[in-house]
Amino acid sequence: MKSRALGKSGLEVSALGLGCMGLSFGYGPATEKQQGIKLIREAYEQGVTFFDTAEVYGPFENEKLVGEALEPFRDKVVIATKFGFRDGDSKKEQDSRPERIRQVAEESLKRLRTDVIDLFYQHRVDPKVPMEDVAGTVKDLIKEGKVRHFGLSEAGVDSIRKAHAEYPVTALQSEYSLWWREPEKEIMPTLEELGIGFVPFSPLGKGFLTGKIDVDTKFSDNDFRNIVPRFSEENRKANKKLVDLLGEIALEKEATPAQIALAWLLAQKPWIAPIPGTTKSHRLTENIGAASIELNTGDLGKIEEALKGIEIVGDRYPSHLQKRVGK
């Protein structure tokens, strides 16, 4: 797989990474440990060198899984993890106090079985802690050799600028896909101006853009999508138009809807590296195949034109989680 540079930072990653969250958290029961290790190693064997985790995924279990899976080839991969919630629990409030950031770094290093975190994101902006203090703490960790690069997740333009002024931000990780294009308005121009890479999570719309989710799909009790307005039965029905469009383009390209959705993202900017997640080997191989699909100007124009007639319905987060993003 080709590699990409995340902005001007010098950090090179595979064009597609692997979002590891779903192996332990968020989308129903956790994957059995050995199966998770096998999937992560399969990703590496197929050219993926960029792996994303966080202390809150589990909590803590996902970092342990990623650490064990990648230990045999640790020096060949880039591992990203995150700080920013009290006690490592995403149900609790944000906590990016300098002492907490340091604590997370030390504990994540142990769980990941490594002596350095390649990319350390603030998971959500903490309104109680000045961004200068957050960036300054990560800067110190970088000087100490415990972290290589600083990142932000779901941050707004003001926070990105404040952080970058204190210490260069390597990457922003936020949701971006054919059914969530909000970052194109303000975020992406800012990233381009500052030379910051973009790591889209949920590039397949939390699975919806694969075409495998319909009105009748039932999610596990602990699946996050049960509380996402965009996944209500009514909204799934309305949003099917986008999946139908992807299906038509996929047929022409002899690809799958998921591959077209990922290829579209890769075609937007050379400093974008999406991190689709999966728990299944065949889906992993399918996603990786998207990296070799080239969408030309005509293809992209056709998609753009078709999208004008499609309105995506439903919020991407319930209101209590929406308050945490874009700060």
Q: What is the pLDDT of residues 205-225, one digit of tens each?
A: 999 999 999 999 999 999 999
- Pairwise CA distance, residues 78 & 43, whole Å: 13
Annotated catalytic residue, options 27, 44, 57, 121: 57
Query: What ranges do the domains of the chain cover?
Result: 3-204+268-293
Average pLDDT, integer, range 256-265: 98
Q: Is 44 an annotated catalytic residue? A: no
- Distance (Å, whole) CA 261 – CA 238: 18
- Mean pLDDT score, 139-164: 98
Using pLDDT thresholds of 50, 70 and 90, give the confidence band for residue 108: very high
The residue-averaged pLDDT of 116-123 equals: 98
Average pLDDT on 3-10 reads: 96
pLDDT bucket at 102, cuts 50 / 70 / 90: very high
Rounded Cα distance between 195 and 187, Å, is 12
State the average pLDDT for the chain: 97
**Per-residue confidence (pLDDT) for residue 72, from 0 to 100:** 98
Q: Could you report the per-residue pLDDT of 9-31, keeping only the tens digit for each?
A: 999 999 999 999 999 999 999 99
Is the domain spanning 3-204+268-293 CATH 3.20.20.100? The answer is: yes
Residue 4: band (very low, low, confident or very high) from pLDDT cuts 50, 70, 90: very high
- How far, in Å, are 7, 95, 115, 178, 293 from residue 311 at the CA level? 31, 36, 47, 11, 26
pTM: 0.97
pLDDT-above-70 percentage for the chain: 100
pLDDT of residue 83: 98
Express each pLDDT in 174-201 by its tens digit: 999 999 999 999 999 999 999 999 999 9
Share of the chain above pLDDT 90, in %: 99
Instruction: Give me the mean pLDDT over the 44-71 stretch.
Output: 98
Go through the chain and tell me how many residues it has: 327
